[in-house]
Amino acid sequence: MPADTPGRPRASPPAAEPASARRTPSKPRSAAEHRKSSKPAMEKRRRARVNASLAQLKALILDALSQDSARHSKLEKADILEMTVRHLRSVRRVHMTAALSADPAVLGKYRAGFNECLAEVNRFLAGCEDVPADVRSRLLGHLAACLGQLGPSRRTAPPPPAAEVPTPEVYVGSPPLPAFDGPFPPLRPGAAFALPLLQALTGAPPAAPLAGLQGRGVPWRPWLR
Amino acid sequence: MPADTPGRPRASPPAAEPASARRTPSKPRSAAEHRKSSKPAMEKRRRARVNASLAQLKALILDALSQDSARHSKLEKADILEMTVRHLRSVRRVHMTAALSADPAVLGKYRAGFNECLAEVNRFLAGCEDVPADVRSRLLGHLAACLGQLGPSRRTAPPPPAAEVPTPEVYVGSPPLPAFDGPFPPLRPGAAFALPLLQALTGAPPAAPLAGLQGRGVPWRPWLR
DNA sequence: GTTGACACGTGTCTTG
DNA sequence: CAAGACACGTGTCAAC
């Protein structure tokens, strides 16, 4: 989705240059010649290398997701990578959780969960341009506000009555590639209020295919339709 | 400057358009013509897809190893994958051991937080008609999936059926190297776009379970030389 | 038929 | 200069 080309300006004129023969035909026709001929072969080895790792990754990620390996696996190359990325992200957050579990801040846990969800929403929305920008910021702002009044987040002044400034500690993904997920606009919705305590989608899945279809390690390409 | 920018300055074919249609079929050419021209373009998109995931993976693995994301990253494509494989393997071990001790006491809280955020998103989106329905369901589905793989939510499936290493892999070389994760200096000042400060609260570095030999994530190509 | 995925060989650019 | 790495376009082959 991110359009075809996420706007990748590669300012480099093709400069149609018919490379004329300028090779000096004076070569020590010995080993060098065969080195040259092995260039395709080397490329092949390189490919084999990534493919090997890819296969291992596939196995790892497949069973990490408790998806019966092989069965119903039409994972294509890029899917493996994407799934791996997602899995690593999730792994990282549970690690963070583990670090938090040391101290009795259980509330911190709760906040961490909420926060991670927020980050996930942000990440997701970043790759979706069919959702208006203002909606996105409103959503994120709202969520941030919710987080803010979730309880005192230690480290800030204990009684910071005002200024639950939307500075959510979300981890906005890696900047390198997508080029979009920058800092989202600080926006505050007027309607922030207490949170209910409920189980969410028990009976309220608009169309959410749960585990089985979408749930497990499926490709899940958001941009594709 | 090891090509940090995913946008690597390279030739960019401006998709030259062969204006001369040597065959003028009575069919609407707008269809057929673009079909043909999109052949290389599609391949390019595919590549972009894996590269995107690859870049994200690089970032993830790099910070998991607490190495500076850009500095000294001569990581080449296949290296990222291999490092990822090693990391995932080590993570699995950790997970295994962690499963014994930390049980659903705290995890439940985390899930609760995540879950609550999910509910909030759901409620918010319900009153928002300018966001496409499918996006909404996809978001919720994704979040649900995240929650699902967050960990065993009691009442779900019994313990993973011997999630042990089936190790059906033909791992060339590196017999003994169990873990890896050997960050040299566990110190990282800049910490560009690292974790949310939640982690900073506890001062817990991301995954760094075992001290490893083999310095930083060395490519370590077994067969090559 | 088309569409999408993959492996291949080659050109181009960076680096030691 | 060679060695290496990457992106590119194309041919081949399996599926809706």
**B131-187 tens-digit pLDDT:** 777 778 878 887 877 777 666 665 544 444 433 333 333 333 333 333 333 333 332
Nearest-nucleotide field for B16 (CA, C1'): D9
Q: What percent of chain B has pLDDT over 70?
A: 41
Confidence check: pLDDT of A105 > 60: yes
**A168: nearest Cα among A112, A128, A90:** A112
Q: Is the CB of B72 under 7 A from strand D?
A: no
Residue A38 has pLDDT above 50, yes or no: yes
Nearest to A58, CA basis, from B81, B215, B5: B81
pLDDT at B203: 33
Most confident region among A167-176, B64-73, B210-219 by mean pLDDT: B64-73
Indicate the class that CATH gives domain B41-101+183-212: few secondary structures
Q: Which of B45, B48, B78 sits opposite A46 (nearest CB)?
A: B78
DSSP B171: -
Neighbour-count burial of A35, counting CB atoms closer than 10 A to its CB (0-12 exposed, 13-18 middle, 19+ buried): exposed
- In B, which residues are within 8 Å of A116 by CB distance? 113-114
Q: Does B101 touch chain A (CB under 8 A)?
A: no
**Contact between B122 and A204 (Cβ < 8 Å):** yes
Look at residue A219 and tell me whether its pLDDT is greater than 90.
no
The verdict on a CB contact (< 8 Å) between B64 and A173 is no
**How far apart are alpha carbons A65 and A87 in whole angstroms?**
8
Structural class in CATH, domain A43-102: few secondary structures
Nearest to A207 by CA among B123, B124, B133, B127: B133
In chain A, where are the structural domains located? 43-102, 106-193
- Selected for mutation to probe chain A from B66, B140, B225 (highest A CB count within 10 Å) is B140
Q: What are phi and psi of A158, to 5 degrees?
A: -50, -50
CB pairs under 8 A between A and B: 300
Strand D atom within 7 Å of B50 CB: no
- State the Cα–Cα distance between residues B189 and B68, nearest whole angstrom: 9
Determine the nucleotide nearest to A31 by Cα–C1' distance: D2
ipTM > 0.85, yes or no: no
Burial class of residue A15, CB neighbours in 10 A (0-12, 13-18, 19+)? exposed
A180 touching B (Cβ < 8 Å):
no
Q: Is the CB of residue B171 less than 8 Å away from at least one CB of chain A?
A: yes
Q: Which amino acid is at A6?
A: P
pLDDT digits (tens, 9 = 90+) for B204-224: 333 333 333 333 444 555 444
Cα–Cα distance for residue pair A147/A153, rounded to 1 Å: 9
Task: Dump pLDDT digits (tens) for B95-135.
Answer: 766 665 566 666 777 778 778 888 888 888 878 777 777 77
Backbone angles phi, psi at B99, to 5 degrees: -65, -30
What is the token pair recorded at B216? 């930083």
